[in-house]
Amino acid sequence: MKRILLIIFAATGLALAASAQPRALGVRTGATGIEMSYQHTMQQRSFIEAELGSEFGVYDGFKATGTYNFIFARPAWTERGYWGIYTGPGMTLGCLDNKFLVAFCANAGIEYTFWFPLQLSVDIRPTYGSLGGEFHSHGNWGFFPSVAARYRF
C-alpha cells in the first residue's frame, strides 16, 4: 500500500512539474523549409525543441526534428523581456522522395521572449546523415539562418 501511494504521489508531482514549465508553439522557416515548431522548457537553462515540416523544392515529403538545447547565456540587453543564446544536439527522421532520412543535427541560435507571449528566434541547424543509404548533403543549407515566431504559454 505504501508503494502504491508513493507511486501516485510521485506521478502527481511529476505531472504538476511538467505542466508548470513554459512552452511555445509556432512556425520556423529558412533555406531548408518550413516547419511547425514546439518548445518545452525542461529546466531554467535547457529546453526541448521539436519540429515537423517539409523541405523547399528539392525533396517531396516530410521530416521531424528534435533537439535538446542548452541556454548558456541570458544577456540583459533590454529592460523588458529576456534574451537567450542556446546550442544543442539533435536528430532528424523523415521520408523525402520516398526514401528514409535519418540524420544528426546541431542547433545554435539566439531568441528573444517579449514581455507579452511572443518569442522570436534566429538559428542555424546543419544536418548530416543518410537519405536512402546515401549521404544527405542538403543539410549544408542549415548553415543559412532560419527564423521562428512562437506563441509562448
The whole domain housing 30 covers 23-152
108 part of a folded domain = yes
15 part of a folded domain = no
Question: How much is the pTM?
Answer: 0.83
In the chain, what is the straight-line distance between the N-terminal and C-terminal CA atoms, in Å? 38
Q: What is the pLDDT of residue 60?
A: 87
Is residue 129 over pLDDT 90?
Answer: yes
Read off the pLDDT of residues 68-95 as tens digits, 9 standing for 90 and up: 999 999 998 988 999 999 999 999 999 9
Buried b (16+ CB within 10 A) or exposed e, 33-43: bebebbbebee
What is the total count of domains within the chain?
1
117 part of a folded domain = yes
Which CATH number belongs to the domain containing residue 43 in this structure?
A: 2.40.160.20
Read off the pLDDT of residues 133-148 as tens digits, 9 standing for 90 and up: 999 877 788 899 999 9
6 part of a folded domain = no
**Alpha carbons 41 and 35: distance in angstroms, whole number:** 19
Read off the pLDDT of residues 27-52 as tens digits, 9 standing for 90 and up: 999 988 899 999 999 988 999 999 99
